[in-house]
A = this chain, B = another copy of it.
């Protein structure tokens, strides 16, 4: 069955913002989920570093711009509906999360409530200062 694949993610969906998953290219660990607009997606492809769109700050967010913990992008995928993005990355500094943990998904749901998993790799007060 011949298929003509689409040309790329469709940013007309989701009010111009699509969710983007960053996955460790070596371990397969899911590091974080953030959002991209067309501009951040294009810059990601061009620079091979993950660039997101910060919904809270309403501007491009070059991951690691403050901490130095950039994500080197090895491969980019998008899904069947063209409305979600998957990046395979090398996480410089080992930790993707602003809390100093490797993955942002460190809250595990258990019958007894939330369990915090994963050690802190860095102290956020040292990386980001006291703000």
Contact = CB atoms under 8 A, between A and B. Distances in A.
Given A30-B23, A33-B19, A116-B3, A106 B77 contact: yes
Contact of A86 (B3, B30, B78, B80): B30
Interface string A11-22: 000000001010
A116 B78 CA distance: 10
A113 interface: yes
A92 to B, nearest CB: 19
A109 B78 contact: yes
Given A27-B28, A28-B28, A30-B21, A104 B81 contact: yes
A7 interface: yes
A19 to B, nearest CB: 5
Interface residues of A, number: 40
A79 interface: yes
B76 A109 contact: yes
12 contacts: A19-B84, A30-B30, A30-B86, A32-B79, A33-B79, A45-B109, A76-B108, A77-B105, A78-B105, A80-B106, A84-B104, A86-B105
